[in-house]
A and B are shown apart, each in its own frame.
Chain A
Amino acid sequence: DVKVTQSSRYLVKRTGEKVFLECVQDMDHENMFWYRQDPGLGLRLIYFSYDVKMKEKGDIPEGYSVSREKKERFSLILESASTNQTSMYLCASSLSLAGLGGETQYFGPGTRLLVL
């Protein structure tokens, strides 16, 4: 059974802290994604990765960085957390269909981050 796990369900951090959100998938998927979800704004793509050590900016990369050292793990880093980064963070993965499109994304349960 397909599984995407995220390191924390809830997280409380202080402004200025460095925050690591971890995502692990067990499906040998090439693609991994980080989204944030806010009321009224839907899901917005922060970063995605097509392969190990590869990353591409999404729609809202400012204030975030990512790391993909192993195929199964994709980390989202908030270099210096700010209150406007309080949000629900969702990780997803998908199998690459070599540009054909239509890949189903499998999501983790989400991390609700509160920055005080």
Chain B
Amino acid sequence: SQQGEEDPQALSIQEGENATMNCSYKTSINNLQWYRQNSGRGLVHLILIRSNEREKHSGRLRVTLDTSKKSSSLLITASRAADTASYFCATDGRETSGSRLTFGEGTQLTVNP
């Protein structure tokens, strides 16, 4: 079953605008991570938020986590054309091994110049 589900599936914005992507999950988690994938390439880790954290920042990225709603959001501020990629959330659940991650289906972000 799909642990993480991103919303929306696709998002198209203009350069300079903010992009918000959401992730929902079903079971209790230890941590939630966001990854980025450029077309036809491997995934690259962006940021990790632990279950006892509510918000985290890294450069133009802001991640929030609401464990009561089992959801997370990734905000990219002042987007650039180079931010065009697919974005995935990944969780490590308390019922599974700490090393194993479950990925969502991803949000395809297109930033138009």
Contact = CB atoms under 8 A, between A and B. Distances in A.
A103 B43 contact: no
Interface stretch (A11-19, A66-74, A78-86, A107-115): A107-115
| A interface residue count range (under 10 / 10 to 19 / 20 to 34 / 35 or more) | 20 to 34
A42 B5 CA distance: 9
A25 B9 CA distance: 32
B99 A109 contact: no
B84 to A, nearest CB: 17
B13 interface: no
Interface in A1-54: 4, 31, 33, 35, 40-43, 45, 48, 50
Which of A33, A40, A90, A105 gathers the greatest number of chain B CB atoms within 10 Å? A105
B43 A105 contact: yes
B113 interface: no
Interface stretch (B54-62, B64-72, B75-83, B101-109): B101-109
A45 B105 CA distance: 13
A90 B35 CA distance: 14
Nearest to A43: B103
Given A42-B104, A110-B40, A105 B45 contact: yes
Contact of B42 (A31, A97, A102, A109): A109
B45 A101 contact: no
B45 A48 contact: no
